[in-house]
């Protein structure tokens, strides 16, 4: 049996929230043990090899069964961490929703296609666990333009924001800002096993590419869809 993950205190949750608000992101250090990270690394290495050295991703906890990522998805302590952070910010009780969970493994030339695509997440809180952080010319940093919008009341307004961002012109400007190391962008050099939290819905963000001969692997837990009840969203999904 594996013990549950570490609990965070109310004051730790408060400091996380103020770091996310002020700095654009917050960190929980050494959330996973070294042996858990080692196990995830071998899962990723095998997956990349099986895919023939190209980008692979896994969505949902069933696809990572038996790993620490499945245990996180089912962990009461990890859920309390997320809901405390959410509740301290919104002042609302966290609705009971599953995570939108994804494991991304970037490698090879196809890794470039999955980099520098600036976006807003559809979920309020993003928790990112780095597994492989490559060292080298391009180390695949996380780039965040923090807290540039509010959580929208209307799903239609959220769609408009996404359209304004997901077009060649906006993407070009953001890439240029990244290249010029604009002080408005927060560049996060990540440490495997630490957790990185940010307001994914409110922040424009992406990852930089890594060298094609390296692997960059991140697990993401996206938490709380503010538009889960939207009739328009349901209609468009049909």
By beta-carbon proximity to ligand AKG, the closer residue of 16 and 125 is 125
Per CB under 5 A, contacts with Fe ion among 98-127 are 121
Bin 156: left if φ > 0, else alpha if -120 < ψ < 50, else beta: alpha
Among 207, 214, 221, 225, the residue binding ligand AKG under the rule CB under 6 A is: 207
What are the backbone dihedrals phi and psi of residue 225, each rounded to the nearest 5 degrees, phi first? Answer: -85, 110
- Is residue 195 within the footprint of ligand AKG (CB under 6 A)? no
If one asks whether residue 40 binds ligand AKG (CB under 6 A), the answer comes out as no
Q: Rounded to an integer, what distance in angstroms lies between the CA atom of residue 43 and that of residue 45?
A: 6
**Contact by Cβ (8 Å): 58, 187:** no
Confirm or reject binding of residue 104 to ligand AKG (CB under 6 A): yes
Q: Which is nearer to ligand AKG, 71 or 104 (CB)?
A: 104
From 72, 94, 142, 204, residue interacting with ligand AKG (rule: CB under 6 A): 142
Show Cβ contacts of residue 9 under 8 Å, excluding neighbours closer than 6 positions: none
Which partner, Fe ion, ligand AKG, none, binds residue 107 by CB below 5 to 8 Å per kind? none
CB distance 223 to 86 below 8 Å? yes
Q: Which residues contribute to the site for ligand AKG (CB under 6 A)?
A: 102, 104, 121, 128, 142, 205, 207, 218, 220
């Amino acid at each position: 049996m594996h013990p549950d993950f570490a609990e965070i205190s109310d004051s730790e949750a408060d400091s996380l929230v103020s770091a996310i608000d002020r700095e654009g992101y917050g960190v929980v250090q050494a959330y996973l043990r070294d042996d858990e990270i080692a196990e995830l690394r071998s899962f990723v290495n095998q997956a990349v090899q099986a895919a023939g050295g190209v980008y692979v991703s896994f969505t949902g906890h069933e696809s990572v069964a038996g790993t620490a990522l499945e245990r996180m998805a089912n962990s009461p302590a990890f859920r309390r961490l997320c809901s405390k952070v959410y509740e301290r910010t919104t002042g609302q009780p966290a609705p009971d929703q599953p995570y939108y969970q994804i494991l991304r493994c970037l490698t090879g030339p196809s890794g470039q296609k999955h980099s520098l695509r600036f976006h807003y997440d559809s979920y309020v809180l993003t928790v990112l666990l780095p597994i492989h952080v490559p060292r080298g010319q391009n180390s695949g940093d996380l780039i965040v333009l923090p807290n540039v919008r509010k959580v929208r009341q209307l799903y239609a307004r959220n769609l408009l924001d996404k359209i304004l961002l997901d077009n060649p012109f906006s993407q070009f400007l953001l890439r240029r800002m990244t290249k010029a190391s604009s002080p408005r962008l927060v560049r996060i050099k990540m440490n495997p096993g630490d957790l990185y939290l940010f307001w994914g819905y409110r922040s424009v963000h992406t990852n930089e590419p890594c060298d094609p001969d390296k692997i960059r692997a991140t697990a993401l837990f996206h938490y709380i869809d503010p538009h889960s009840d939207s009739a328009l969203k349901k209609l468009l999904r049909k």
